[in-house]
Amino acid sequence: MTKITDRETRQHNIRVRIESDTDLVSARHAGRMLAEQAGFTSSELTLIATAISELARNIIEYANFGEIHLELVQNGSARGIRIVARDAGPGIGNIEQALRGGFSTSGGLGLGLAGVRHIMDNFDVESNVGAGTCVTVTKWKL
Partner 1 sequence: MAVPILKQSNYLIATIQSALTDQDFVQLRDALVDKVGRFRSRGVIVDVTAIDVLDSFASRTLRDLAYMIRLRGAHTVIVGIQPDVAFAMVQLGITLADVSTALDLEEGLAFLDDVGAET
Please answer whether residues 30 and 14 qualify as being in contact, where contact means their C-beta atoms are separated by less than 8 angstroms: yes
Helix (H, G, I), strand (E, B) or coil at 11: helix
Q: Tell which one of 94, 105, 122, 128 touches partner 1 (CB under 8 A).
A: 105
Residue 139 in contact with partner 1, rule: CB under 8 A: no
Please answer whether residues 84 and 135 qualify as being in contact, where contact means their C-beta atoms are separated by less than 8 angstroms: yes
Q: Tell which one of 12, 29, 69, 79 touches partner 1 (CB under 8 A).
A: 29
Please state the closest distance from residue 141 (CB atom) to partner 1, in A: 16
Please state the closest distance from residue 103 (CB atom) to partner 1, in A: 5
- 47, amino acid identity: L
Residue 111 in contact with partner 1, rule: CB under 8 A: yes
Q: Tell which one of 9, 75, 77, 106 touches partner 1 (CB under 8 A).
A: 106
Residue 32 in contact with partner 1, rule: CB under 8 A: yes
Please answer whether residues 83 and 136 qualify as being in contact, where contact means their C-beta atoms are separated by less than 8 angstroms: yes
DSSP 86-141: EE-SS--S-HHHHHHHTSS-SSSSS--HHHHHHH-SEEEEEEETTTEEEEEEEEEE
Provide the binding-site residues for partner 1, judged by CB under 8 A.
21-22, 24-25, 28-29, 32, 42-43, 45-47, 49-51, 53-54, 57, 103-106, 110-111, 114-116, 118-119
